[in-house]
Amino acid sequence: MAKIIGGLTTSHIPAVGNAIAREQQNDPYWKPFFDGYPPIHAWLDKHKPDVAINIYNDHGLALFLDQMPTFAIGAAHEYINEDEGWGIPVLPPFKGDAPLSWHIIESMVDDEFDITSCQEMPVDHGFTVPMQLFWPGLGKHPNFPRAIPISANTVQHPIPTLKRALDFGKALGRAIRSYPDDIKVVILGTGGMSHQLDGERAGFINKEFDLMCMEKIVTDPESLTKISRRELVRQAGAQGTEFLMWMMMRGALGDKVNPIHQNYHIPISNTGAGTMMLECID
């Protein structure tokens, strides 16, 4: 049977992709951010997951405001990266795992989640930046996993509640664990943390709220479901709603997790950048 070994979180801002392309990891501006990742590299090299399920939000490459599904799951054999106009080099295709994708989709529908299944799904920086951060070199990395993208709506209101996001993760965990193949799976929850890119609150960051979320998502994720969508925007900013994808990841891990590593740094591109590594407890 498939086994979920842990969950990882990271910001996915496009400026990070540019920094990687320009090899600026040791630049004084970037170093405190990139220093959060070597312990995760060591953990991944030790455990060697076969599949990474990458929960992110599409930024208009595959999906746009005219058709924005609440939850979309990739069901392709590979996922193409395309130019978004940020100046980030286009990356080679990412190998998928279509049989596992369809198993997850079938199981999620059985659990009464309405899923948009995507047999073609170009992936943007929300997907590619976390893959670069966790597996430097991507396809040249000796332990580079197959990948399945799951896109959540964080931009076109009404967005999912934090409770719905956590419940989605719980159903995702059940789906993965019922897959008959003997594989190891890691779940990525990407985005955020607090940030707002436009309007009167442009540049808004709420460190206190971010650190509270990083604590509670480990010990008591259910308590975070009491935060309404309106309150989430107020506390985390208009784009800080991406935290709901962390909740989707957390739900898949089960009741108890062991926090192995975390890092928090501000500001990176006007964003509160949080990184966490959570190991599943059998």
DSSP structure class, residue 140? G
Paired tokens of 121:
């799904």
Of these residues, 12, 59, 103, 195, which one is catalytic? Answer: 195
Cβ neighbourhood burial of 136 (10 Å; 0-12, 13-18, 19+) = middle
Q: Please report which residue ranges of 87-124 form alpha helices under DSSP H.
A: 98-110
Active site residue 125: yes
Q: What single-letter DSSP state applies at residue 258?
A: E
- Rounded distance, CA 80 to CA 212, Å? 36
Strands 116-118, 71-74: pairing kind: parallel
Q: Which of 125, 157, 261, 265 is catalytic?
A: 125
The residue behind tokens 């049989």 is 99
Count other Cβ atoms within 10 Å, centred on residue 185: 27
Identify whether 103 is a catalytic site residue: no
Residue type, 280: C
Q: Is 242 helix (H, G, I), strand (E, B) or coil?
A: helix
Residues in the chain, how many? 282
Catalytic residues: 125, 195
